[in-house]
Amino acid sequence: MHFQLRVAPLPLAVVGAHGVTDFDVPGFWVEYAACLLAPLPDPMVTLLFVLGSVLHFADDLGPHGSGALHAALVVVGSCWGLQAAFDAMVGYLALVHVPAHYARCAARGRFKALWFAAACTVAGYVAAAAHDARSLPLGGALQRIVLAHILCERRARDQH
């Protein structure tokens, strides 16, 4: 499933760049190759994307907290629309998830990954602002990349 959603350049850069921390996980390419090359139809990719999101945010909020967050997003989406639910998710990502993710990276000594993510955040913001990027095509390819990030971070977590 494909969604075209509005997002400002700064949250786009902050949220988008945090996934580059995967590059310091040995063998990260395995998750990325599997997710990008798996012959799955888009509705299945979207389902896995949502289920992966619930699993991933359990690292921040615990399983019940992640379930509650996603249930709240369903309510927001039902009452105020998909864009409102996306805005709420971007707020959560920028204010809770990304800082928690970076704290986990620091606790595991992944400092090169943090410096790279900081540089990518700055570069991403400059590029997004310069091109007046105000929307995000959240389709199958990006959902697959996010799913690969989720799987890669689970493996990194389980290795420590």
Instruction: Please give the single-letter amino acid code of residue 68.
Output: A
Q: Residue 138 has what pLDDT?
A: 86
Residues in the chain: 160
Q: Is the pLDDT of residue 160 over 80?
A: no
Q: Where are the domains of the chain?
A: 3-159
Give pLDDT tens digits for 44-100. 999 999 999 999 999 999 999 999 999 999 999 999 999 999 999 999 999 999 999
Q: Is the pLDDT of residue 134 over 90?
A: no
Token look-up 């921040």 returns 60
Contact 60, 96 (CB under 8 A): yes
- A 10 A CB-CB count for 94 gives 17
Q: Residue 54 has what pLDDT?
A: 97
Residue 19 — very low, low, confident or very high, per pLDDT cuts 50/70/90? Answer: very high
Q: Is the pLDDT of residue 40 over 90?
A: yes
Q: Tell me the whole-structure pTM to 2 decimals.
A: 0.92
Phi, psi of 71 (to 5 degrees): -65, -40
Query: What contacts 24+ positions apart, CB below 8 Å, involve 34-41?
Result: 34/148, 34/151, 35/144, 35/145, 35/147, 35/148, 35/151, 36/141, 36/144, 36/145, 36/148, 38/144
Q: Residue 26 has what pLDDT?
A: 92
Query: Which tokens in the block code for residue 84?
Result: 């409102």
Contact 6, 85 (CB under 8 A): no
